[in-house]
Structure 1
Amino acid sequence: MKTRVNPTRMELTRLKRQIVVARRGHKLLKDKQDELIKKFIDLIKENKRLREEVEHDLEMALKSFTMARSQMPQEVLEESLMIPAAQVNIDVGKQNIMSVNVPKIDIHLQEGSNIYSYGLANTSAELDNAISILSGMLPKMLKLSEIEKTCQLMADEIEKTRRRVNALEYVMIPSMEETIKYITMKLDENERSNITRLMKIKEMVM
C-alpha cells in the first residue's frame, strides 16, 4: 500500500533516503532479535538444569531430615534448629543484556559464620547432611530466581523486537517501495508528456 504523496523528485529523493535507513534499521533489529533468541535459549537450558538440581537437592534434604526426625528426640531436634548461626548478605542489582536491564543477585556468607547452630555431639549425621544440603541450595535458588526473571524480561523484549521487525518488513518498507514506484512512474509519465509536447511545438514552429 503506497503512501499518498506529491510525485516530485524531491519527494522521491527523500523516500529513497528513508528506505535506506529503514532497511538498515530492519537489519539491526533482526540481528538483535536473533541474538536475544540465542541468549534466551541458553538461559532456558540453564534454568532447566538448575531447577532439576534444586529439586533433587530438596528431595535429598527432606529424606535426610525425615531420617533425622526418626533418630532424634523431638525436643533435641527443635532445640538444635531454634537459633540460626549462619548470616548471609544478599545484594540485588542490575545488569544489561542486549539493552535489557535484568536482575543480578549476589550472596555473601559473613566471615566466621557456621551453618550448624548446634553441637554435633547430640545430633545425627542425617541432620547435619540435611542442613548442609539446604545451605548449599540457597545460592542455587537465588540464581534460579535471577534466571527466571531474566527469561521473563528477555521474552518481553523479544516480542517487542519481533513486532518492530515485522512492522518494518511487512508494512513500512513495502509501503515505501510502492510509493517510490508510483512516484517514479508519474515522473516518467510527465517526462514523456513533456517530450511529446515539445515535439508538437517543434512541428508547429517548423
Structure 2
Amino acid sequence: MKGKLKGAQQGHSLLKRKSEALTKRFREITQRIDDAKRKMGRVMQVAAFSLAEVQYATGDNIAYQVQESVQKARFQVKAKQENVSGVYLPTFESHLNEEINDFKMTGLGRGGQQVQKAKMVYTRAVETLVELASLQTAFIILDEVIKVTNRRVNAIEHVIIPRTENTISYINSELDELDREEFYRLKKVQEKKQINIAAEEAEEAEKKAALEADDEDDEETEETEETEDAEDANADTPTNKDETAPASAGKKKKKNKKKKKKTATNMQPTESEVIKEVDQLASQEADVLQDNEEDVIF
C-alpha cells in the first residue's frame, strides 16, 4: 500500500505539471487566436475592397477568366504534428509556389494592376485563415485534454490518495493492536508462570518445614524416652526374667509407637490406600465373625 501511495503521489505530481504546461499553452493559443481573428477581419476587409476594384475595372466576366486560366494549385497547405506534454497538436503550414503563375495574361486588356493586387491580398487572407484554423484545432484539442487531466488530478488528489492513506493508517492501527495484544498475552503468561513457581516453592518450603518439625519432635521424643529408660534402669534393677520381660515389652511398645508415629507423619496415605485398608479391615472382621460362628456351632 505504501508503494501504491507513492505511485499515486508521483502520478499526481506528473499530471499536475502536465496540466500546468497545457494550461500555459492554451492561454498562448487563446491570445494568438484573438490576434488572428482581428488580423483576419482587417485582411478580409481589404480583400473585399480589392475584389470590388477588380470587378469595376475588368467587368463582370473576370471570374470566368480566372477559373479558365488556373491549371495547378499555387497555394498549398501542409499538416504537421506538435508534441506538447504528450499531446499531439496538429499544425497547418501554408506553402506558396512562386514558380506557378497562371494569371500572367489575366487582365491584360484592362484591370491587370487591380488583379495582381487582389491576388496578393487574398494570398495573405488565405495564410491568415490557415493559421487561424490551426489555432482553432489546437484550442479544441487542448480544451478536452485539459479537462480530462484536471479530472484525473482531482480524482487522485481527493479520492485515491486519501483512501490509500486511510487504508494504511487502518492497517497500522490493526498491527499495533495485534502487537499490544501479543505483548499483554505474553505478560499474563509470564505472570502466571511466576505465580505457579512461587506457589510450588511455597508448598515445597511448607513440606520441608513440616518434615523438619516432625524430625525435631521425633528426636525430642527419643531423647525423653532414652532418659526415662535410663532413669528406670538406674532406679530398679530386675532380679529375674519375669521382671525384665515387662520392661523389654514396654520398650518394644514404645519403639513400635515411635515407628508408627514416624510412618504416620512421613507417609500420607492416598484415597486408594485408605479404601484398601478399609477393605482389609472389613475382611478381617468378617473372618473373625465367621470363626466365632463356627465356635458357637461346635
Q: Quick check: TM above 0.5? A: yes
Contact 2:107 2:115 in 1 (8 A): no
Q: Who is 1:196 aligned against?
A: 184
Distance in 2 (CA, whole Å) between partners of 1:127 and 1:200 is: 107
Distance in 1 (CA, whole Å) between partners of 2:103 and 2:48 is: 17
Gaps of 5+ in 1: 1-14
Shift of 1:69: 2.8
Q: Who is 1:30 aligned against?
A: 16
Distance in 2 (CA, whole Å) between partners of 1:198 and 1:43 is: 70
Q: Is 1:59 paired with 2:30?
A: no
Shift of 1:137: 1.5
- Secondary structure of 2:79's match? strand
Aligned length: 191
Match of 1:145 among 133, 143, 153: 133
Q: Who is 1:90 aligned against?
A: 77
Q: Who is 2:286 aligned against?
A: none
Highest relative contact order (Cα 8 Å, sep 6+), 1 or 2? 1
Q: Who is 1:161 aligned against?
A: 149
Match of 1:101 among 88, 99, 113: 88
Contact 1:115 1:131 in 2 (8 A): no
Shift of 1:148: 0.8
CA distance 1:62–1:115, shift in 2 (3 Å): farther
Q: Who is 2:239 aligned against?
A: none
Which protein is richer in helix relative to its size?
A: 2
TM-score (norm 2): 0.59
- Secondary structure of 1:90's match? strand
Which structure is larger by alpha-carbon Rg, 1 or 2?
Answer: 2
Distance in 2 (CA, whole Å) between partners of 1:24 and 1:159 is: 20
Contact 2:89 2:141 in 1 (8 A): yes
CA distance 1:126–1:49, shift in 2 (3 Å): same
- Secondary structure of 1:74's match? coil
Share of identical aligned residues, percent?
26
Greater mean alpha carbon deviation, residues 111-120 or residues 22-31: 111-120
Distance in 2 (CA, whole Å) between partners of 1:107 and 1:35 is: 27
Distance in 1 (CA, whole Å) between partners of 2:53 and 2:88 is: 44
Distance in 2 (CA, whole Å) between partners of 1:115 and 1:109 is: 13
Contact 2:40 2:129 in 1 (8 A): yes
Contact 1:50 1:144 in 2 (8 A): yes
Q: Which amino acid aligns with 1:188?
A: D
Distance in 2 (CA, whole Å) between partners of 1:183 and 1:145 is: 55
- CA offsets 1:131-179 (integer angstroms, 9 cap, x no match): 2211111122112111111111111111111111111101110000101
TM-score (norm 1): 0.83
Q: Which amino acid aligns with 1:33?
A: S
Distance in 2 (CA, whole Å) between partners of 1:176 and 1:120 is: 80
Shift of 1:38: 0.3
